Amino acid sequence: MTKYEKNYNNYDRDGVSVTPGEQFKITIKRLGINGEGIGYYQRKLVFVPGALPNEVVRVTVREDLPRFIRADLTEILQTSADRVEPIDAYANEVGGFELENLAYPAQLQFKRDMIISALEKFKPAGYKHYKIPQTIGMDNPVAYRNKAQFQVREQDGQVVAGLYEARSHNVVDLKTSALQYPLVMKVMNAVVAMIADLDIPVYDEEKNSGIIKTVVVRAAVATNEVQVTFVTQSPKLLKKRQLLERIATELPEVVSVNQNVNPGKTSLVWGEQTIHLAGKKVITEILDGLEFDLSPRAFLQLNSFMTPTLYHEAFKSLKLTGKEKLVDAYAGVGTIGLLAADQVREVRGMDTIEEAVDDANHNALKNHITNAFYEVGEAEELLPAWLEDGFDPDIIIVDPPRTGLADSLIDAILTSAPSQFVYISCNPSTLARDLVKLTDKYRVDLIQSIDMMPQTARCEAVVKFTKK
């Protein structure tokens, strides 16, 4: 059950019951936060992936739950003017392509509407008066994803690589993807073919056996350097020498090869142990003139083309004199803090992944930045500790995961109450929730959405505040 579905539990109407396989006709009223169409059958919520607002559709019941119905789109009886042909044939089979059938201007409007809906639900102080401009989109909203994490399995005697089918662990073989940076798909297909040719055992989830679980391919768009990481069941990698020789010979753009060990059945892609196999340990991306080295587990925005736009929007609200102390929370490889370092006195940042922090400190040195320091740990623990030690930040920029800010971090932000504060969010729901507390001391000046993930339901936004 998604969070969105849970939020609408109160729409249940006693006595409404349907049977899996049953069909009925409904009108789609709006899109949910996962991009699915939402309608009502006898006043009971119905979630229909692939259906668009204002469409009249025939659906087939997949699951009847106490508070809502999940259904499959069977026939479109009245088509939305915003419907387009999906770029990828499997767009409605796997996650991450769910809006390919929606015209791009309507996608941008949907992402702005998501923010407004979340604000209306949580009602932070003054929310009706927030300035919420139109979403900033891409000129060409395809071929942007700089990383692919594909599950590798054997199906019908063939090695396949791709993403899980919705609500299952069946892997959909993705030999093409219009959303991936082309070099990523070139390398992915070649590496998977090598695994098959060399007969390296791939993971069998039912038996918890085999070796290669996932192949991760990341490309640095500015340099076209490629990093390949094999996520394996154990440290043992059969035919490793032959595999590395073929990569070196056939894929010269691959300059970094690594192995990550992630044993057992788990929903997590990454394990804790990463082994360097060949080439460099990192690849180098360039953003706004700075070079950033990336180790396999280090976070970088998936859309290198729009990342400068995102950060420029974040920096627009800052008034910098060169005397400020800036905290870069959830820092990853240090992109935000290092890009601002030449305009402030000091940058401090943190991340929970040790390799990312190593990258961030290395990237400071690589770019001859001497006023930035990064530390391993959770923002909600380190910021209060820094405050207790007497560190008093003038600026805090937070870029948390989809879960948003921990209450302890919000408390630390409100305790330090820096004069300048920027929140970069990738989840409108947790953003709106966090604003309820943050607006005790801050007034929201602007929420600017930026489309970092075209053709998906993901929405990124920059929130600019003024201290009350």
Structural contact between residues 149 and 120, judged by C-beta atoms closer than 8 angstroms: no
Residue environment code for 43-76, b if the CB has 16+ CB neighbours within 10 A, otherwise e: ebbbbbbbbbbebbbebebeebeeebbbbebeeb
The Cα 84–Cα 50 span in angstroms is: 11
Altogether, the residues listed in the chain come to a count of 468
459 is catalytic: no
Close Cβ partners of 385 (under 8 Å, ≥ 6 residues apart): none
Residue environment code for 381-398, b if the CB has 16+ CB neighbours within 10 A, otherwise e: ebbbebbeeeeebbbbbb
Residue 207 tokens, joined: 């038996």
Half-sphere exposure of 219 (CA within 13 A, CB side): 23
Question: Which candidate in 114, 192, 426, 453 is catalytic?
Answer: 426
Residue 30 tokens, joined: 């709006």
Structural contact between residues 368 and 349, judged by C-beta atoms closer than 8 angstroms: no
CA distances from 384 to 26, 327, 387, 414, 420 (A): 52, 12, 5, 11, 17
Helices 182-197 and 240-250 cross at an angle (nearest 10°) of: 140
Catalytic positions, please? Answer: 426
